[in-house]
């Protein structure tokens, strides 16, 4: 038709590998991207492969066809395709070579990482921790002889608890006695008869104070009235404590350890320039109480899923991943994205109905765990997740079958395998707060990605000062040259992940951490280097939705009765927070993922305990299972799409994207502006239609009235000025 231009806009998946197609009678127009506040110009004559990312440095204007401008006000990323996606499978090669886990580990690597010394194996504890660190032990189960103030009360005497920045608030870093004498004690109520086997002690967490216990005694009781001391032969045992504030010190009781309900830690000496302060964990095996007829109520909530709930070092992780791919060869594919500094491979488990292939319109999803090697829960959750998906797919669980068929899932359980091995060798309770956090080179990988925030904000500042929008970019931002040089202090593991991001068009991701209970979303860095400040992205509302999806379905985060982990009460934010509003992080993976690849990435802090004991893993799986699944299902949504072209009136409509095998079609009809119609008619030497003649006459009259009014106003002003003089 001469007076209208028709567009077909094809959308698939809310944020994930979405494809857009605009077509008209005279050709096909590819849509580069649809962003929340970002607008990109494209033309009907320009075509590109759907796998190609936009080149933000080149103009895409054409003099032969109208420009098409698309904007979205609800969601962001809609990628392009050059032809209408067929309902049959179309694939592209976005894959890495398959890893053969039957091959042995390189002998040189094995010698470097595992020295075959006894201290290289973690100490096997006879009994698990009661749960002071994991918060299974409630605040009401802790008492003390005295304490200095609320922030140093007995509820703060938990292993690895972290203080706030300032001493003196309610979130201090230990239990500290009010008096300095040998009569002070911290008491733990196990609530059940327990065979106590040991105690782990730390000093006070503080950047201002240096307090720790040198020696201590231990007593047991069944009623808190009569106490029996731990013995060393015929004498009361005195246990060695700490030599610094952070390194955990383990003391094991002898084989005739007392069965009791209560245990007390009684400091005998302490650092001479400090005071009586400690953080503790208690080891013990709970026993059934024959006097309790309701003993069944005390059973710990576990899980019905038959999964491998234990901590897996590198060798055991390989075995587990191999067993999963052998059980489900049709939907799994194991590949490596690179090697760590020590030579350990960074394995990824891909799960898809066509493993090893990228399918047009199918979202690419990733979970990354173990960026900080000592934050081990994410690693085990991903290993559990791949087992669970395999098992449920074979059983015909329709939710899992649908997820596998409609999403290409990538699971990287260990981004920092060197750091994990360091922490694993110490064991879950003795690794402390920081051992294994960094790479072997001492790099914190969550501060190691290219700082593209600065590139973007510098471009915004340049635009503001020079009114030059040609240099303004805020997505697909290229990596600065200095970062890609060989001299750049970038970990091998970081480079491997960046290469992974660039080779597979991920659209949704989550980065699993530990040590808190909260979900954070970009930006992670403040613009003015403030320690913390809310610094939202243009897609803030959608990021908040993604974070809420995980947090609201996590059984611990969503529990209104839970206590804060360390020094922040995230419940007042509904357990989600802008990353920069928690603490500023330069070079985070989330910000880089969003700005360089247009992939939405959030950080999930999974647990107060970074490295929970193996006995906690079934409970943690249940806490996170629904969250892990539902986060991957975030593909449905509504777009408000505005289509405009030069010479046409813009058109806006709501387009709902369904979770289907095929893209959603959204049609538009654009009518030509009177000016465009006149231009085309005059170019052809034709006569003007009556409606257009009338419209032009009205425009001339409007223009004449406006000019007459302006002339009369100037004359009146001049007349008033003349009379005044």
Residues constituting the chain = 725
8 Å CB contact between 431 and 311: no
Question: How many degrees, rounded to 5, is the angle at CA 117 between CA 245 and CA 256?
Answer: 65
Beta-ladder partners of 251: 199
Q: Which residues of 433-472 are buried (b: 16+ CB within 10 A; e: fewer)?
A: bebbbbbbeebbbbebbbbbbebbbebeeeeeeeeeeeee
Name the catalytic one among 281, 364, 429, 605. 605
CA gap 387, 163 in Å, rounded? 37
DSSP 261-321: EEEEEEEEEE-TTS-SEEEEEEEEEE---TT-TTGGGGSPP--S-----S---HHHHHHHH
3-state secondary structure 534-570: CCCCCCHHHHHHHHHHHHHHCCCCCCCCCCCCCCCCH
* Closest listed residue to residue 268, CA positions, set 237, 292, 301, 224: 237
CA gap 493, 410 in Å, rounded? 17
Determine the 3-state secondary structure of 83 from DSSP: coil
CA gap 549, 471 in Å, rounded? 36
Phi, psi of 705 (to 5 degrees): -60, -40
Question: How many degrees, rounded to 5, is the angle at CA 534 between CA 529 and CA 537?
Answer: 100
* Closest listed residue to residue 410, CA positions, set 524, 321, 282: 321
Q: In what order do the strands lie in the sheet with 79-80?
A: 27-30, 19-24, 79-80
Determine the 3-state secondary structure of 458 from DSSP: helix
DSSP 437-455: SS-TTS--GGG-S--HHHH
How does DSSP classify residue 486?
T
| Rg of the Cα atoms in the chain | 32
CA gap 317, 382 in Å, rounded? 11
Beta-ladder partners of 43: none
Q: Locate tokens 């994207």: which residue? A: 657
| Cis? peptide before 523, omega within 30° of 0 | yes
CA distances from 661 to 205, 406, 633 (A): 53, 7, 14
Verify whether residue 605 is a known catalytic residue. Answer: yes
8 Å CB contact between 419 and 373: yes
* Closest listed residue to residue 304, CA positions, set 367, 378, 391, 382: 391
CA gap 649, 673 in Å, rounded? 6
Structure tokens at 665: 């079609």
CA distances from 640 to 32, 110, 635, 657 (A): 17, 55, 16, 11
- Half-sphere exposure (CA, 13 Å, Cβ side) for 285? 9
Active-site annotation, residues? 605
């Amino acid at each position: 038709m001469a007076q209208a231009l028709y567009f077909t806009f094809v959308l698939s998946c809310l944020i994930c590998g979405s494809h857009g197609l605009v077509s008209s009678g005279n050709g096909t127009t590819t849509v580069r991207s649809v962003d929340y506040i970002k607008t990109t110009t494209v033309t009907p004559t320009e075509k590109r492969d759907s796998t190609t990312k936009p080149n933000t440095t080149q103009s895409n204007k054409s003099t032969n066809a109208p420009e098409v401008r698309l904007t979205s006000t609800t969601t962001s990323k809609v990628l392009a395709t050059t032809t209408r996606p067929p309902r049959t499978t179309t694939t592209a090669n976005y894959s890495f070579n398959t890893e053969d886990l039957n091959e042995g580990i390189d002998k040189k690597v094995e010698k470097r990482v595992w020295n075959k010394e006894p201290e290289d194996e973690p100490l096997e504890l006879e009994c698990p921790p009661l749960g002071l660190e994991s918060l299974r032990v409630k605040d009401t189960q802790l008492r003390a002889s005295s304490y200095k103030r609320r922030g140093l009360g007995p509820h703060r005497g938990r292993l690895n608890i972290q203080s706030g920045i300032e001493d003196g608030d309610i979130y201090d870093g230990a239990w500290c006695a009010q008096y300095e004498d040998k009569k002070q004690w911290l008491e733990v109520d196990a609530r059940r008869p327990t065979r106590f086997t040991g105690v782990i002690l730390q000093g006070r967490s503080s950047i201002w104070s240096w307090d720790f216990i040198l020696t201590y005694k231990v007593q047991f009781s069944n009623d808190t009235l009569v106490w029996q001391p731990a013995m060393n032969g015929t004498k009361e045992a005195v246990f060695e404590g700490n030599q610094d504030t952070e390194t955990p010190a383990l003391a094991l009781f002898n084989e005739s350890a007392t069965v009791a309900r209560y245990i007390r830690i009684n400091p005998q000496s302490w650092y001479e320039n400090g005071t009586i302060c400690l953080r503790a964990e208690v080891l013990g095996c709970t026993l059934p109480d024959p006097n309790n007829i309701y003993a069944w109520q005390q059973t710990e909530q576990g899980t019905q899923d038959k999964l491998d709930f234990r901590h897996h070092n590198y060798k055991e992780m390989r075995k587990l991943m191999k067993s999963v791919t052998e059980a489900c060869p049709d939907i799994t594919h194991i590949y490596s994205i690179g090697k760590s500094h020590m030579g350990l491979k960074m394995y990824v488990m891909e799960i898809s109905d066509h493993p090893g292939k990228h399918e047009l319109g199918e979202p690419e999803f990733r979970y990354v765990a173990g960026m900080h090697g000592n934050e081990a829960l994410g690693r085990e959750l991903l290993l559990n997740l791949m087992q669970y998906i395999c098992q449920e797919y074979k059983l015909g669980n329709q939710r899992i079958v649908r997820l596998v068929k409609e999403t290409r899932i990538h699971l990287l359980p260990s981004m920092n395998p060197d750091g994990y091995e360091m922490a694993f060798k110490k064991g879950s309770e003795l690794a402390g707060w920081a051992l294994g956090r960094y790479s072997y080179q001492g790099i914190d990988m969550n501060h190691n990605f290219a700082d593209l925030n600065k590139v973007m904000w510098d471009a915004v500042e340049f635009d503001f000062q020079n009114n030059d929008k040609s240099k303004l970019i805020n997505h697909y931002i290229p990596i600065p040259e200095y970062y890609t040089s060989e001299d750049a202090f970038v970990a091998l593991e970081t480079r491997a992940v960046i290469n992974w991001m660039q080779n597979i068009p991920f659209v949704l991701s989550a980065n699993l951490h530990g040590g808190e209970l909260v979900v954070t979303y970009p930006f992670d860095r403040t613009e003015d280097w403030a320690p913390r400040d809310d610094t939202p992205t243009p897609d803030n509302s959608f990021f908040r939705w993604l974070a809420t999806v995980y947090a609201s379905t996590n059984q611990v985060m969503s529990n209104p009765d839970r206590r804060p982990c360390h020094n922040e009460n995230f419940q007042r934010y509904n357990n989600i927070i802008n990353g920069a509003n928690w603490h500023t992080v330069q070079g985070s993976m989330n910000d880089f993922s969003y700005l360089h690849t247009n992939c939405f990435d959030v950080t999930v802090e999974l647990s107060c305990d970074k490295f929970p004991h193996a006995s906690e893993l079934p409970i943690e799986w249940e806490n996170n299972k629904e969250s892990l699944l539902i986060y991957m299902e975030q593909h449905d949504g509504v777009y408000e799409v505005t289509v405009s072209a030069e010479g046409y009136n813009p058109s806006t409509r709501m387009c709902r994207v369904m979770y289907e095998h095929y893209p959603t079609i959204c049609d538009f009809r654009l009518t030509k502006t009177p000016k465009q119609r006149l231009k085309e008619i005059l170019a052809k030497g034709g006569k003007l239609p009556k409606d257009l003649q009338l419209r032009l006459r009205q425009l001339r009259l409007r223009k004449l009235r406006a000019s007459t009014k302006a002339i009369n106003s100037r004359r009146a002003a001049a007349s008033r000025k003349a009379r005044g003089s």
